[in-house]
């Protein structure tokens, strides 16, 4: 294992966060704070609590997941897309660095940024509502697994995309709507039976449900199912990354 190469790529990607601090950290935190203000004032006054948890506190895990998923995809996809766009990807592929080391570097950096952002949003949310974490170890587990999984997904997206339009297509038209419809701001049990069934086909539901359980001990889906689905997504992404490097899909052409 070439730890020097991993450290070099990882450090470079983490340094990019410092150069884009406003976009990477400040903007997501401000956006999340606005969600607290708007939803807390407009909806929180009408919904006193959900399953014994105040509405403002109930949406905290959903808001963290909203930023976590979008930023994981964005950080990882841009991280690998720019070397493709500038042509420096060929220098990286010809260097004495294995594919495993490349993935660990880029995905590790993207996941680290997302975890830091998630923890900052968690701390910020405490300024607006009282937040309790019933299962802190499980909270960290879901936080890390989700960050790594969607950083891998973003890495795949960055390799697949041929231009900036495609790079933004999946996050804005697919992932973001799934997050909003995945129980970020409401409980699935509040929906009519038909729409509950439809919602369970949304994979984001399982991530948000498991993460919310780690806070308040309540969930729309059994926590074991949520963990299993998260590991399944991770396995699928790892398999896809392995196939891309094995075949050279959109890397060697």
Residues β-bridged to residue 50:
53
Q: Where in the sequence is the domain holding 176, given as residue range(s)?
A: 3-247
Q: Is the dihedral of CA 107, 110, 114, 116 positive or negative?
A: positive
| Structural domain includes residue 252 | no
Residue 127 lies in a domain: yes
Phi, psi of 167 (to 5 degrees): -65, -30
Residue 124 falls inside a structural domain: yes
Rounded distance, CA 30 to CA 33, Å?
A: 5
Tokens representing 130 are: 């009282």
Residue 253 lies in a domain: no
CA–CA gap between residue 152 and residue 73 (Å, rounded)? 8
Q: Has residue 174 been placed in a domain?
A: yes
Q: How many domains does the chain have?
A: 1
pLDDT tens digits, the chain, 253 residues: what are they? 778 888 888 898 888 777 766 666 777 788 877 877 777 666 766 777 788 888 888 888 988 998 899 889 988 888 888 888 877 777 777 778 888 888 899 999 999 999 998 999 898 888 888 888 999 999 999 999 999 999 999 999 988 888 777 788 888 888 888 988 888 888 888 889 898 999 999 999 999 999 999 999 988 899 999 999 999 999 999 999 889 888 877 776 5
């Amino acid at each position: 294992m070439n730890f020097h190469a991993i450290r070099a790529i990882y450090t470079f990607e983490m340094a990019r966060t410092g150069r884009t601090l406003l976009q990477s950290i400040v903007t997501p935190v401000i956006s999340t704070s606005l969600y607290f203000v708007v939803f807390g004032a407009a909806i929180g006054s009408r919904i006193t609590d959900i399953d014994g948890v105040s509405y403002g506190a109930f949406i905290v895990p959903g808001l963290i997941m909203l930023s976590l998923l979008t930023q994981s995809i964005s950080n990882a996809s841009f991280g690998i897309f720019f070397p493709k766009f500038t042509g420096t990807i060929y220098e990286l592929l010809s260097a004495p660095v294995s594919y495993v080391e490349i993935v660990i570097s880029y995905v590790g950096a993207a996941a680290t940024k997302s975890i830091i952002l998630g923890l900052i949003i968690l701390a910020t949310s405490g300024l607006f509502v009282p937040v309790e974490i019933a299962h802190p170890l499980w909270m960290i587990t879901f936080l890390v697994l989700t960050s790594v999984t969607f950083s891998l997904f973003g890495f795949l997206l960055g390799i697949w995309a041929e231009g900036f339009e495609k790079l933004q297509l999946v996050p804005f038209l697919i992932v973001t709507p799934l997050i909003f419809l995945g129980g970020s701001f409401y409980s699935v049990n509040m929906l009519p039976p038909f729409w509950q069934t439809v919602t369970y086909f949304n994979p984001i539901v399982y991530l948000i449900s498991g993460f919310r359980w780690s806070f308040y001990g309540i969930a729309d889906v059994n926590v074991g199912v949520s963990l299993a689905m998260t590991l399944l997504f991770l396995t699928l992404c790892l398999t896809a990354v392995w196939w891309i490097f094995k075949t050279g899909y959109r890397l060697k052409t």
